[in-house]
Every structure is written in C-alpha cells, then in structure tokens.
A and B are shown apart, each in its own frame.
Chain A
Amino acid sequence: MNLLSLSGMEKRYPGVKALDGVDFQLRAGEIHALLGENGAGKSTLVKVMTGALQGDGGSMSFLGAPLKLKSTAHAQSVGISTVYQEVNLLPNLTVAQNLYLGREPKRFGLIDWKRINRQSREVLKRFDLDIDVSRPLSSFSVAVQQLIAIARGVDMSAKVLVLDEPTASLDADECEQLFGVMRELRDKGIGIVFITHFLDQVYAVCDRITVLRNGQLVGEFEAATLSRSELVGHMLGKELQAQTHGREHREEKSLTQPLLEVQELAVSGSLQPTSLCVRRGEAVGLAGLLGSGRSEVCRAVFGVDRKTSGTLKVNDAEKHFLQPADAISEGLALCPEDRKTSGIVGPLSIRENIALALQARRGWWRPISRVEQERLAQRFIRELQIATPDAEKPIEQLSGGNQQKVILARWLATSPQLLVLDEPTRGVDIGAHAEILKLIRQFCRDGMSLLVTSSELDELLAFSDRVAVMRDRRKVAEIEGDDITEGNIMRAIAEA
C-alpha cells in the first residue's frame, strides 16, 4: 500500500513550470531515492510534500486519505518529518532542547529537565548515540547533528521521513552510520524519501528510484534492476544506445601554450587534488553530476575558496589567489553558479551591472564616465541581444536568461583571457538557453579560453575541445577530440 502518494503535482513560477504533472509514490517500509539534476524539480517536490509550499494543481494522499498540507508544522503533526541538508536545528540549544523544543514534558508547570534528558538519552540510544544531551548541539560533529535531526523527526512519531541531501557533509563512516539507521527505520515500517547526488549511496540503501527532469517525471525504477549508466541516462535525458554520434565537426586547433595550469589543486573540505590545463583559445568542459566538484574547481581557480595545496599557474607564472580580485587582475573572469547571491547586484541597473567589474579593475579613482558606461551597455545589449527596453532597468527585473547575459557582458567588458562559466544555462528559459550557447561558441571562435561546467551533455559536446569529468570531488577522466561523445562522458560519470 502506498503510504504517501502525490499525483499530477503542478507548481508554476513566473516563466517556469517547476513541477509539471509529477506523480510520486512512497510505500511504507522502503527507502525511495528522488533524483534529478539542477532544476529538475526535486526540491520543489520535497517542499510540496513537506508543506513548505502549496502545489498549484494535483492531489496528495496520505495513508489512503486525501491530505492538504497547510504548513511544515501541519506536515509534522500528521507524521511527515523533514531533515534538511543544512541541519535545521538550533546550534545554540542543547541536544535535549533540540529534541523536545515546543513539546517539553512538564512537572508542576515547569519544564522537567530530568525527564527530558532521560528521554533524550533513550531516544538517541536507538541511534547508537551515547552522548551528553545537556551539551549544546554546536559541540557535536555535523554527522551527529544530522542523526539528532533524524531522531527528532522519528521521535515525533514520523511515518514519512524526508531526508534532503543529508549526506552532503558526511564522510564515508558517518554515511554508513546514517545508512544503518535508515535501514533500521525502514524495517520498522517507516517510508523514507532520500535525496542525494551520490549514485553510490543510492545503490547502497535505496529500494526504488524516482527520476525527475525539467519538472517532469522521467520514471520510477527498482534499484535492483536499473543499471548505473541507465540511471545517469535518465537523469541527463539521454538514451545510452543513441550516444554513438560525436560532437559537431570543428576545425582542429593546433596545440597552443597553456594559459591556466592547475596541479594537484585541493581545497580542504570541498575539492580533492585535481589537475587541469586550459590552453590559449581552448574551451574545456567540466562534466559531472551535481556535487561532483565542478563548481568547486571554478571557485578554487577564481580565488573564491583558498587552495590548501597544489599549484596554480597563469601563463607559466605561479599565482596565489587570495580573493577574486587577484584572479581578475590576471585576466580571469567567473560567472558563478548562484546568480542571485553571487552574480547580480539586484537593485542596480543593467548599465551599472555591466560596468562594475571593469570599474573594479580600474579602481575607484578612474571612473568610467556615464557616456562610456552607456556605450558599453548599449553595445552589449545589442551584441548579446539582451531583451530590455533600456539600460536603466534594475537587473533584478530581468528574466534569468537576460540576467546571465548581463553578467557575461560584465566580464566581456574586462576582455578576460579566461572566462570561467559555472552552469551558465542554469535557470534560463529555452530561448535564452540556445542564445547563450551560441555566444559561448562565438567566444570560442574569437579565441577566448573557456572553462565551462554544465550538467547538459549536449552543451558540453557543442563547444568543448576537451572535457574533464568530475566525480566525488576529484577529476576521474579527461576526454579529448573525437572521443568526446555523450556515451563516453556518461560512462565516465557513472563508473564506480
């Protein structure tokens, strides 16, 4: 019997259909993986099933009866608990307080701490955690915090447990510990929705897999009978059989001098030692699933994350980037993955957003005159076909695709040697998507060096001279020339 079932779920945002008639069934006593790349709609689906969002259409039933969730508190009260990637507990409170916040047992009208602490210890024992529950949560490792969050969810008599990327910050042992608990809970009849982007973990604990792509259901599969490469194919929207054709023919470039050379570059906690080289006039693609270390490479190269070991050379000279400004002065540019928090300066106009990077490079005492700014803006609005009535519109009022073009324009204005694009087509509508790809191809032709991450294989095929494949925060393969096929890339991504 289905414990929780959603059918025909819809959720629209202005310009985007985040969920387009998605069905999802969770049985009691199973661990069900929910997979999909960026923008697939899995986080929206999770929000709908945990009451954080209300769907625009479709229906939901729980234990066979229709259910309409009003809030996360409502979801909790009927028995749907969620544990988020960033532990959503309160680090300043004690473990026991976190477990019983808002439902503390009382004695003579006062909170009965003795009982809370005793019960907390009992609850955590079931998770093999023997810790001092009167210490603040922040004094424990993230793994323990994660387990405590799960314990809270289960103890609030959960029937459905949604684990939203709980393993993102856990090491292998900690993951094993968590999986043990998950299996135990499953055997007790709890239905678990497990979201992760590590395929190993999917196969380690999950019974069934639901794959979403572009807001639509791709399918529901039995983990035991679905091969790894088939799974990757479903996630990326490709059939493995059809992957024999290569990329479009392009003229061979003669080997040029390396522009960026990275040797064993590592960042503690986010990137394992990785080597990579981008030559002058070359476009290098970074492939891999979400969380594979693609973005981390970009951030490390651009000086956002400080490297902990390894070397980085630009034009054969070793560089130590302490902040993005250092990288920019060497002619690097980065369009970050998260446009809203690290890309656009929302309330400022298109003109100002375009001029900012160049201005920052020139310094405050050499201003770009208004006329010059306008000329820059007009030029790029025309060249990149940014759809806007005028250059004075605040950038936050543009669509995602046009925002991305403004950010591209911002960096083009600085005439960079190397343009790093982290998921340049993320959250961009179909039309702008094609235009941005066209632009990238044009940059290649103009001889600019590019380092581009993407979860869309055909994008990578379209412009890459070389593709580096990332998995588990390190580079696992590098594919060159005619070997760049969707099949080869997918095999490299999926290989265990």
Chain B
Amino acid sequence: MQSLFLSRFSSLYITTALFCLLFLVGAFQFEGFGSSRVVANLFSDNAFLVITAIGMTFVIISGGIDLSVGAVIALTGVVCGLLIGELQMHPLLVFPLVLVGGGLFGAAMGALIHYYRLQPFIVTLAGMFLARGLATTLSEESIPIEHAFYDAVSDFGMLLPGGAWVGASTLILLLVLVAAVILAHYSRLGGYIYALGGSAQSAQLMGVPVARTTVSIYAISGFLSALGGIVYSFYTFSGYSLAAVGMELDAIAAVVIGGTLLSGGSGYVLGTVIGVLIMGVIQTYISFDGTLNSWWTKIVIGLLLFAFIGMQRLLTRQQAARLATGAAH
C-alpha cells in the first residue's frame, strides 16, 4: 500500500498539497487573496505558460528537453504581428499557418535528434537561436497588433460569481489540457511517449515506432509553443522578438515542480498545470505583499526545484534498492 502511494500519484499529491498550502497562507494573510478572482487570474495570466509547459511535459516524459519554446513563442508573436498587424490578414487565416509552422519546426528538431543521434539539449539550443534569430530578422521592433478579432477575443468570456473572469485564454488552456490528458492516457502515442522515457532500447524491442514517436513529441511541443505564442499575443496585443526570453526555464521548472521525472518515463500533465499555478501563486503572494521583491520568486522556485529533484532522486534510489533486494532472494 505504501509503495503504491510512493510510486504513482505521490508527486501529484505533494504538488497539489503544496499549491493549496501556499494559497491558504496567502488567503489568511491578505484580504482578497482567497477569492475566485485571484484563482481565475492565475489561469488567465499564465495560460501561455501552461500551454507551453504541457508540450514540455511530453518532451521531458520521453526523456528529452526542448529549449526552443520561448523563442518559438516570440517568433509566433512576430509572425502574427507582421501578418495581422501590418498586412491586415485575418487572424483565423494566420493562426493555422503559425500553428503548422510551429509543429514543423518541432518536427525538424525531432528528426535531427533521432536520425542524426544528436543530443536534444544542443539541437533545441540551436533551434532556440534559429527561432529567435528569425524573429529578430523579421523585426527588431515590437509590432502592435490591432484587429477587430483581437478585440472580440479579449471581450469574449464569462464572469463567474466572485468577480472571476474566464476569458478566451483560459478556455483555450482548458481545451489543451483535456486534449493533452487524452493524448497521454487514451492514445497509443501517449503510451509510446512514456515507453521511450522508460527505456528507448526496451521500447524499440517491444515494437514502439521510435522515429515516428520522437518526431511527434517535438512536433507537439512546437505546436503548443506556437499556440502559447498566439495566446501570449492576446495578452500583449503585439509581437516582439525579445518576448518570453528565458521562458523555457519557467516551463521546465513548472514541469519538474509538477512532479515529472526529469530523467523521463513518469509524470502527469495535470501536475504541470499545478506546477505553473504554484509559480503563479508565489508571484501573486509577492505582489500582494508589496515589500518583497520579485527576485524572491526565483529563489523560491530554485529551492522548490532542488527539493523536488532531491525527492525524485530519493524515490528512484529506493526503487532501485527494492528491486535489488527483490532480486536477492
């Protein structure tokens, strides 16, 4: 019973408990913190990060890493800015274009990783330079996006009791979340992704199409980053080549705090969402406090990272020890 608790959902429980704890601390300390409005804002303010981090979750579960996501967000923003803001194309024409573009970008990185046996770290680093470089080349200035559709999007949504506003970003986030859970747990590809993270060699012997899966994983991450970029542009009404610098770190941190093993093979999409929310709560807490500086966010996230990685390490060691003793008798 204990091992069941330890090995399966334990990280998810811990993450959720941590979120509740942080939220409660804030709610007790500050008036107005414990409102549904704050919760709704956590979602809408971090929607682009959640969407991107969900893509990162799949990459990390498979045992890889994607450093290009922040740059893809910026590139998406710039392309949207150029096509919508300057050329006045309709967003509904532009969006499919950038989404497919993001997917192809990721797929190309996946193909390089698989076929040329290059390390994901360095390939996606090059991808980050490439995307950021393309964005800079297209425009060094921030491009404002003015379009009736964007206004409609920002007006779209519903007001929940307590002043909570559920906008388009939040709705997109929820849609992505549902799709991601289905992909992870109710599709063959999902099983393959977990299988790759468990052991690429065993997966191959068990008949997993490794090439197709690897390319798909990075394509999904690229696609979701592009989607994150679109949602980000709803938020800023502009496209800027220096947007979302360092966002890949936030995404990775959220995935780890969400309980996904950085060595791959285990993790939950839902955990990642809560991971982002934890980071959001810390930021909200600091802004409510007013005396604390924003740099505490980084230190606290660093400490959380350390705690979670240490815990993961302990868990895997315990598991290995249990297997060894299991083999002994």
Residues on A lying within 8 angstroms of B by beta carbon are 72-73, 76, 82, 84, 88-93, 97, 101-102, 104, 110-111, 113, 135-136, 138-139, 141-142, 169, 171, 268-269
Contact = CB atoms under 8 A, between A and B. Distances in A.
Nearest to B199: A90
Given A110-B186, A142-B327, A102 B192 contact: yes
Contacts of B206: 88-90, 101-102
A104 B191 CA distance: 10
Residue among A76, A97, A104, A139 having the largest count of chain B Cβ atoms under 10 Å: A139
B21 to A, nearest CB: 28
A76 B197 contact: no
Nearest to B267: A92
B60 to A, nearest CB: 13
A90 B198 contact: yes
Q: Chain B at the A interface: mostly helix, strand, loop or mixed? A: helix
B198 A72 contact: no
A77 to B, nearest CB: 8
B195 interface: yes
B328 interface: yes
B324 A136 contact: no
Contacts of B207: 72-73, 76, 101-102
A440 B159 CA distance: 86
B303 to A, nearest CB: 27
Nearest to B204: A72
A171 B4 contact: no
B327 A169 contact: yes
Given A90-B206, A110-B186, A135 B194 contact: no
Nearest to B188: A104
Contacts of B326: 141-142
Contacts of A88: 201-202, 205-206
B203 interface: yes
B182 interface: yes
A171 B327 CA distance: 8
B58 to A, nearest CB: 15
Given A88-B206, A90-B198, A104-B188, A138 B323 contact: yes
A102 B8 contact: no
A90 B4 contact: no
Contacts, number: 79
B205 A110 contact: no
A113 B182 CA distance: 12
Interface of B: 3-4, 7-8, 182, 185-188, 191-192, 194-195, 197-199, 201-208, 265-266, 319, 323-329
Contact of A89 (B202, B323, B325): B202
B199 A102 contact: no
A28 to B, nearest CB: 24
Nearest to B185: A111
Q: Chain A at the B interface: mostly helix, strand, loop or mixed? A: loop
A13 B327 CA distance: 34
Contacts of B324: 269
Contact of A92 (B192, B204, B266, B325): B266
Contacts of A141: 326-327
A71 B40 CA distance: 52
B203 to A, nearest CB: 7
Given A142-B327, A171-B329, A102 B205 contact: no
B4 A135 contact: yes
Nearest to A135: B4
A110 B198 contact: no
B323 A142 contact: yes
Contacts of A169: 327
A93 B264 CA distance: 12
26 contacts: A72-B207, A73-B207, A84-B205, A89-B206, A90-B198, A90-B202, A90-B203, A90-B206, A90-B265, A92-B265, A93-B195, A101-B192, A101-B206, A101-B207, A102-B191, A102-B207, A104-B188, A110-B186, A111-B185, A111-B186, A113-B186, A135-B4, A138-B7, A141-B326, A171-B329, A269-B328
Contact of A102 (B188, B319, B327): B188
Contacts of B265: 90, 92
A94 to B, nearest CB: 9
A91 B198 CA distance: 7
Q: Which 3 A-B pairs have the closest CB atoms?
A: A90-B198, A92-B265, A269-B328
Contacts of A89: 202, 206
Given A73-B207, A101-B206, A101-B208, A90 B195 contact: yes
A139 B191 contact: no
B129 to A, nearest CB: 29
A93 B328 contact: no
Nearest to B328: A269
Contacts of B186: 110-111, 113
Residue among A90, A91, A111 having the largest count of chain B Cβ atoms under 10 Å: A90
A101 B319 contact: no
Contacts of A90: 194-195, 198-199, 202-203, 206, 265
A268 B191 CA distance: 36
Given A90-B206, A104-B188, A269-B327, A138 B194 contact: no
A186 B198 CA distance: 32
Nearest to A82: B205
B3 A139 contact: yes
A93 B7 contact: no
A91 B185 CA distance: 17
